[in-house]
Amino acid sequence: MNEIVGGLFVGGRGSRMGGQPKGLLRTPGGATIIARSRAILESLEVPLVLVGAHEAYAGLGIETIADEPAGIGPLGGLVALLCHAGARRALALAGDMALVSPGLLRRLLDSGDAAIVAPRREGRWEPLCAVYDAERVLPIARRRAASNRHSLQSLLDEVGATELPLSAAETRETHDWDTPEDLRLP
């Protein structure tokens, strides 16, 4: 599936996790989040890049791209991923989503040609479990980055993202690990 690239967002500081790089946390199956995500994307024939600079991931042998621009949060990572994707679509995946399944990602990848396809959870977009048409979304994302409008929620609203409906099980898969308490949730 060469017409898409997968970006695993790992640039966060993990401050709510005591500074621990979240991509190196162990999933219920025992693999790190990065190793699990890499295996899933390989099974789907989607090349992987890590989005965001973090020294903890330097020795993994996975291409890494820095945020563009740095210091503005996930929007900087998304701009970098869309630039990297060029004419391809981009699958953006949070580096702390330890439970996302190959089936959910396959549904996203097969969801058509909308500018953005993303699920919603509790009324909010999941912008880091979404597929972006890089050529259509990049100009808007760049403009927002330059104008200090960095919210991914409002980016998806502005572009008119298409919602991918989720089953109850898929909704649980989109749960991200932000705090130590999250690790204990089903």
pTM of the model: 0.90
Cis peptide before 102 (omega within 30 of 0): no
CATH 3.90.550.10 assigned to 4-180 = yes
| Backbone torsions φ then ψ of 53, nearest 5 degrees | -85, 125
Residue 46 has a pLDDT of 97
pLDDT tens sequence across 24-72: 888 888 899 999 999 999 999 999 999 997 888 888 999 999 999 999 9
d(CA 158, CA 174) in angstroms, rounded, equals 22
Question: Which amino acid belongs to residue 184?
Answer: R
Please state the length of the chain: 186
Residue with tokens 């699958």: 91
d(CA 18, CA 114) in angstroms, rounded, equals 38
Residue 109 has a pLDDT of 96
Q: Which long-range contacts (CB under 8 A, 24 or more apart) does 178-185 make?
A: 178/16, 178/17, 178/96, 179/16, 179/17, 180/17, 180/18, 183/25
Residue by residue, pLDDT tens for the chain (186 residues) are: 459 999 999 975 554 545 567 778 888 888 999 999 999 999 999 999 999 978 888 889 999 999 999 999 999 999 999 999 999 999 999 998 989 999 999 999 999 899 999 999 989 999 999 999 999 999 999 999 999 899 999 999 999 999 999 999 999 999 875 555 555 544
Residue 17 has a pLDDT of 46
